[in-house]
Structure 1
Amino acid sequence: MSAFRRKRKPIGIDDINIIDNDKTKKAITAAALGNAIEWFDFGVYGYVAYVLGKVFFPNASPSIQMIAALATFSVPFIFRPLGGLFFGRLGDKYGRQHVLAITIIIMSLSTFGIGLIPSFETIGIWAPILLLIVKIAQGFSIGGEYAGAAIFVAEYSPDRKRGFMGSWLDFGSIAGFVLGAGTVSFITYLVGSESFIDWGWRIPFFLALPLGVIGLYLRNALEETPAYQQHSENQTTQQKPQKISFKEIASQHKRSLLVCVGIVLCTNVTYYMLLTYLPSYFSHNLGYSEDHGVLIIIAVMVGMLFVQPFIGWLSDKWGRRPFIFAGSFGLLFLSLPAFYLLGTDNEPLIFLGLLMLALSLNMLIGVMASTLPALFPTAIRYSALAIAFNVSVVIAGLTPALTAALVETTQDILMPAYYLMLCGVVGFITAFYLKETSNKPLIGATPMATSEEEAVELLEEFHDNLENKIEAIDQKIEELQEKRQKLADQHPKID
């Protein structure tokens, strides 16, 4: 015990990280821009899926074209866990900043590459094959992108503002989607529907390259996160650096992994349903014109941009769990009414239906980026989060293609609502098992503050928390000693 005490000194005021506000803003901007590029592609892909079906699968029926285009969107998600495993290990070993620079390069180039692929009429079967290869490369890089970006922001954020700071990461997601969808609508308006199908659809994909260059510049300009720097310093003082296998992660952090899977599954299924599948659903299944629901969805997404940081700010005051419960409640009880409204062909009612779905999604994504990194300690945070996140996304990524196939098979246009209701059940169960993480230091890291005054307050709270944990352990020891004594009293040779 004395040797253990010599290795660990008490945590004092000098150990509290005081985060420079400008650095935090730069970290959020750099991380959110990468997320924006990811969702820029999703926004573009969702809104040009009908065009891609004609360009890359011209010999199929319109229904099969749509399913094939959405399947090409979904298949690369299978490769995301491999990317998560690869980049997660690198992120825990070499740092978050270096890995995020690599992922944004691959992601930007692969999105840009989609616009370069010739049509089926030009190169035949190689056209859809090349599309699939580029999407797989994109999926592999994205496997390390969101987890790394969420960790990067969380490890740069003060404990009392982590919810608000983290909410800007998915602000980037929504902004990227809005930019992608808006770009498609704007280019279609400029060149006309026929020219857009011929060549105009390529332009939005080309825009990913300059966005990627800006993101790379911002990420290279940042330092490594304070939490990882502290972890690296601790590793260098050890004779044998800590190495943890994924088997050990799974056994020691089973609950955290399952909670992570539940949150991501519930959130991302809703994300892909609302942002990727619905544009095709409006035009193909409800028979609306291509731009009938598009502008309404964009308007709802713009509204989500304003709600998103507010949800994050409130979660720092009320906690993360209430919002996961609220979002899950919305999916379970409002999805069916929402889809009834979407089928009315009445724009105000369509807007109301989308608003109901969007608010449910806002509740979930408003807290996801601040909740997930807090589930794991610094040493394994990138590896564990990247694997759990991307395993969930594999299932969630099947949403557009699977929902399209279910609607086509059953001829039931309410099938997407049932799908979301099932996700609501998953969200409820997950929220029940989630331990509250707001206003607490990340596991394995010292408290982080914005000023010396706040640092003093955080240190007192940190010490109080330690005292409470020690008291709980002492009480447990006392209970075990009483239990032992009762058993020992029944044995003649044990005192």
Structure 2
Amino acid sequence: MTTTGAERLQDGPEHSEVSEATVRKAVGAAAMGNLVEWFDYGIYSYVTVYIAASILGGESSANVGLVLALFAVAYLVRPFGGIVLGPLGDRIGRKKVLAMTIVTMSGASFLLGCLPTFAVAGWGAPVLLILIRLVQGFATGGEYGGAAAFIAEYAPDKKRGFYCSFLEFGTTGGFVLAAGLVTVLQVTLSDAAMHAWGWRIPFLIAGPLGLIGLWLRSKLDETPAFKALEEKAEVCDSPLKDVLTKHWRPILVCIGLVLFYNVAVYTVLFYMPTYLQTTLKLDATPALLYVLGMMLVIMFVIIPVGALSDRIGRKPLIVTSCIGFIVLSYPAFLLLDTSTVWGTILGLVILALLLVMLLGTMSATLPALFDTEVRYGGFSIGYNISTSIFGGTAPAILAWLVTATGNNAFPGVYLAVASLISLAAVVVVKESARKPLPGAVQSSVSTVA
């Protein structure tokens, strides 16, 4: 009979210690994979108008909504990726599955840069786009949950928030790299060149980035928590069945937390460039510079927020963010709708500060919902179900709502409602700061390499 995580914690004062150098390598390798993942997603959102014209043909402005809908296609298969790859990571280890996901994601990104245009392939071009996005979505279903579990299981208990925040630092870094690269291309290339071939360059760069991430991950050992399971012969034979029958409650909590978290992420980081350009009619370069500045602010603050969560707890920050989005989302979009420099800056700052409280805490909070033997699978299933329904669909829904209502600030209402729905999950989540992960022994970091 397999013992539960709670029972193993009561067996005795076991303790694991990992060198600080090893923890840093593990964090860097996991964050690099996340950077590659979101580099691609960031590119897609920043070159939407070019993809619309090239792959779908016709006027780019008329096809932006369809391209955003195709963006959401990848999210249809993310839960399947989570269901397959997550439990697989609980059976064969986090490292092997994470190597698989980063190769698949970066390879798919590279292929996006090689897509034929609508003029060359007709409707074959958007069909190929859909197929590549489906492959990408499947691989992504096993990336974030595994990367978060990987860092959380390496990180010492007292600094888990600090180290896990580097995962989202990688996320934001992917966006910044994408936005910066696209901005440079827009400044240095003519509009005709950008439409013809310039938009492909960032996708082609994703291939080599993925190989770098694979090399970093190949140099790492399996996590201490998973190795302990292997040594005790407690690796679950059927983690999918186990997580669905015995751990469905934390999955529901995960879905609830991720609901408003992902609506916030996809509204603020994904939809914002399209919103500024197509709804507020800003030129492409100023719009990207606004978003790039906002993301740099987030990158500057995210690590201190993660460290703060180790001192005061994750829950106070998550509660503050949730209530803040309920109260301030609509006023922030009203400020953006002024289309003035200071209105735009203030609106983005409000949204960025509310979002960074989630980015700095969620990657440490969500892995702590699950025992070691089902952590990868439980996290991936709950996270990707919620992301598929509420996250990936957000840009297309928001674009439709703005058009249908004629209210440019309506995205703020959507954000507020999502946060209100998630409030129940935010209230019931247990504090995990400075505590061992469920099913794991106490861990600390040694300064000895």
Fold shared per TM-score above 0.5: yes
Q: Would the aligned equivalents of 1:325 and 1:427 in 2 still touch at CA under 8 Å?
A: no
Question: Bigger CA drift: 405-414 or 111-120?
Answer: 405-414
- Structure 1 counterpart of 2:90, one-letter code: D
Separation (CA, whole Å) in 2 of partners of 1:69 and 1:127? 12
Distance 1:122 1:377, change over 3 A: same
TM-score, structure 2 length as denominator?
Answer: 0.95
Runs of 5+ unmatched residues, structure 2: none
1:253 positional shift: 2.4
1:43-122 → structure 2 map (5 Å cutoff): 43-59=42-58, 62-122=60-120
Return the match for 1:202 from 182, 200, 203: 200
Structure 2 partner of 1:290? 284
SS, match of residue 291 in structure 1: helix
Q: Return the alpha-carbon distance in structure 1 between the equivalents of residues 86 and 400 of structure 2.
A: 33
2:302 alignment partner, one of 299, 308, 312: 308
User: Does structure 1 residue 382 correspond to structure 2 residue 376?
Assistant: yes
Whole-angstrom CA distance in 2 between matches of 1:214 and 1:156: 21
- Paired position in structure 1 for 2:431: 436
User: Do structure 1's residue 32 and structure 2's residue 31 form an aligned pair?
Assistant: yes
Say which of 162, 165, 169 aligns to 1:164.
Answer: 162
Deviations 1:286-316 (A, max 9, x none): 1121123210110110011011011100100
Letter in 2 for 1:410: T
Helix, strand or coil for the counterpart of 1:17? strand
1:148-187 correspondence runs (5 A): 148-187=146-185
Deviations 1:45-73 (A, max 9, x none): 111101111112224x6554011111111
Please give the residue correspondences for 1:214-229 in structure 2 after superposition, counting only pairs within 5 Å. 214-229=212-227
Partner SS, residue 438 of structure 1: coil
Change (3 A) 1:194 1:251: same
Equivalent position of 1:332 in the other structure: 326
Amino acid at match of 1:378: T
> Deviation string for 1:428-481 (max 9, x for gaps)?
2221010111111111110001249xxxxxxxxxxxxxxxxxxxxxxxxxxxxx
Which SS does the other structure have where 1:23 is aligned?
A: helix
Aligned equivalents of 2:203 and 2:276: distance in 1?
23
Q: CA offsets, 1:221-272, max 9 Å, x none?
A: 0000000000111116xxxx64346454234323311221122121111111
Aligned-pair distance for 1:166? 0.3
SS state at 2:271 partner: helix
1:43 and 1:245 map into 2 onto residues whose CA distance is: 33
Q: How far does the alpha carbon of each residue in 1:372-414 deviate from its partner, in whole angstroms, 9 at most, with x for none?
A: 1111001111111111010011021100111111212222212
1:365 matched to 2:359? The reply is yes
Q: What whole-Å deviation, never above 9, does each CA across 1:165-184 have from its counterpart, x for those lacking one? A: 00000000001101001100
Q: 2:394 aligns with which of 389, 394, 399?
A: 399
Q: What is the aligned residue count?
A: 441
Contact preservation (8 Å) 2:115, 2:129:
yes
Aligned to 1:417: 412
Once the 2 structures are TM-superposed, how far is the Cα of residue 320 of structure 1 from its aligned partner? 0.7
Q: Distance in 1 between matches of 2:339 and 2:403?
A: 20
Q: Distance in 2 between matches of 1:12 and 1:109?
A: 46
Looking at both structures, which has the greater relative contact order when contacts are Cα pairs under 8 Å and sequence separation is at least 6?
Answer: 2
Q: Which amino acid aligns with 2:408?
A: I
Please, what TM-score do these two structures have when normalized by structure 1? 0.86
Structure 1: gaps (5+ residues) = 453-495
Equivalent residues of 2:261, 2:358 under 8 A apart = yes
Which stretch shifts more, 34-43 or 283-292?
A: 283-292
Q: Per-residue deviation at 1:10?
A: 7.5
Q: CA RMSD in A?
A: 1.8
Runs of 4 or more, structure 1, over 6 Å off, are: 7-10
Alignment pair present for 1:346 and 2:340? yes
* Secondary structure class of the residue paired with 2:115: coil
- State which structure, 1 or 2, has the greater radius of gyration over its C-alpha atoms: 1
Instruction: Check the 8 A contact 2:186/2:285 in 1, yes or no.
Output: no
Structure 1 counterpart of 2:253: 259
AA aligned opposite 1:226 = P
Contact 1:324 1:428 in 2 (8 A): no
**Contact 2:29–2:213 (Cα < 8 Å) also in 1:** yes
Percent sequence identity is 41
Question: What amino acid maps onto 2:194 in structure 1?
Answer: F
In structure 2, distance between residues paired with 1:57 and 1:410: 26
- Counterpart residue identity of residue 95, structure 2: Q
Matched residue, 1:478? none
Alignment pair present for 1:408 and 2:403: yes
> For the residues of structure 2 that align with 1:82 and 1:255, how far apart are their CA atoms?
20
1: CA distance, partners of 2:176 / 2:141: 22
> 2:438 aligns to what SS in structure 1?
coil
| Code of the aligned partner of 1:418 | V
Residues of 2 paired with 1:365 and 1:398: CA distance?
20
Mapped contact 1:257–1:388 kept (Cα < 8 A): yes
User: 1:242, 1:303 → 2: CA distance?
Assistant: 42
